[in-house]
Amino acid sequence: MKHTKKWLVAAAIATSAAVALTGCTGSTTDGGGSSSDDITVGFSVYDMQYEFFQAMAAGTKEAVEANGWTYKEHDEKSDENEMVTGAIALLDSGIDVLIISPFKPDALGSIVDHAKELGVPVIVDDIGGGGTDYDAIVVSDNKDGGVQAAGYIDETVQALGLTSKKVVSITCQPDAVYAAQRNIGYEDEITSLGYEVATSLSGDSDATKAYTIMKDALAKDPDVSAVFACNDDMAVAASNAIADAGKVPGKDIVVVGYNGDPSALEAIQAGTVNATVAQDPNGMGKLTVELAKTLLDGGEITFGNDENREVYNPVTLVTSDNVADFVS
């Protein structure tokens, strides 16, 4: 083939690829610039590869479509630049309300700024608000979750006959301020129940780091009786570290995670993790849409915490007793 033809063909492929893009639209429609009653809700999500956020998006979409509104989604793919550019693009496309689950809450500044200019209300779903002027933020009652975990650990330690009063606490990434409440609630409650927090370190929400932390904690205090991790990935990793150190997780050391991820639910059924605290991301998504409706109808929101405009969504402790309800 003559090489001129080769690049003509290449150009043709590129153009047809561009045309094919028009067929690649998802199930959502373009945000309308029309002034009709059709409300469009834009949802910008942390990263759709995580089950937690998939459930959140599903809940949000369900509630939006139940109201007869249009749903438009944007995936931040764990990148703050994508978060800012994409959320601003959503705003520019003419949405009526923005719901955002921010990858980096600190980057919300220019988004909220732009939303205020366009007169679009902003509701934050989990993670954090970055100190900006959002209209409301929906979070799980994380502190209560930590308290519930501590209470459960106390019960289980006594039931298993473990003697040590030393426990481990693995926290999430430092800028997840609401997740931090889990370990704060846990550490406060467990110390008031007479235990000592021997190790409290940040696993940065990462399983590999949590594994190392648990391994080192066991090397320092082999007689630890329980560990509470800020998320399930870290709890499962801690459980593995305990097993690799020659102990039996779930029996020699009580392991409690947070989030209710499938990996933890499996581990609870297998007995290597004792409990987790299930958030309800689907319910959180629905709650944000409820709040959106209140705002668009001109109503006022009742906050759980007026200063930070927080609205709480309840959490449930999941143990081997009720794990069957959550596996579906």
Q: Are 185 and 141 in contact (CB under 8 A)?
A: no
Part of the chain binding other proteins (CB under 8 A), chosen from 3-11, 147-155, 250-258, 263-271:
3-11
Question: By CB under 8 A, is residue 25 in contact with other proteins?
Answer: yes
Residues of the chain by 3-state class (helix, strand, coil), percent to 5: 50, 20, 35
Closest to other proteins by CB, 14 vs 301, is 14
Instruction: State the alpha helices, DSSP H only, in the chain.
Output: 3-21, 51-66, 80-92, 108-118, 142-160, 177-192, 207-220, 232-244, 262-270, 281-296, 323-326
Among 65, 92, 244, 325, binds other proteins (CB under 8 A): 92
Q: Compute how many residues bind other proteins; rule: CB under 8 A.
A: 52
Contacts of 177 (CB under 8 A, 6+ apart): 105, 128
Q: Residue 118 Cβ, how far from other proteins at the closest point, in Å? A: 8
Beta strands 136-140 and 196-202 are unpaired
Among 38, 65, 110, 299, binds other proteins (CB under 8 A): 110
Q: Residue 121 Cβ, how far from other proteins at the closest point, in Å? A: 16
Question: One symbol per residue from 26 to 65: x for binding other proteins (CB under 8 A), - otherwise; what is it?
Answer: x-x-xxxx--------------------------------
Tokens of 126: 């989990």
Contacts of 105 (CB under 8 A, 6+ apart): 124, 127, 128, 129, 130, 175, 177
Among 55, 56, 64, 84, binds other proteins (CB under 8 A): 84
Q: Identify which of 301, 3, 321 has the alpha carbon closest to the alpha carbon of residue 124.
A: 301
Q: Residue 208 Cβ, how far from other proteins at the closest point, in Å? A: 15
The residues binding other proteins (CB under 8 A) are: 2-7, 10, 13-15, 17-19, 21-22, 24-26, 28, 30-33, 72-75, 77, 80-81, 84-86, 88-89, 92-94, 104, 106-110, 112-113, 130-133, 174-175
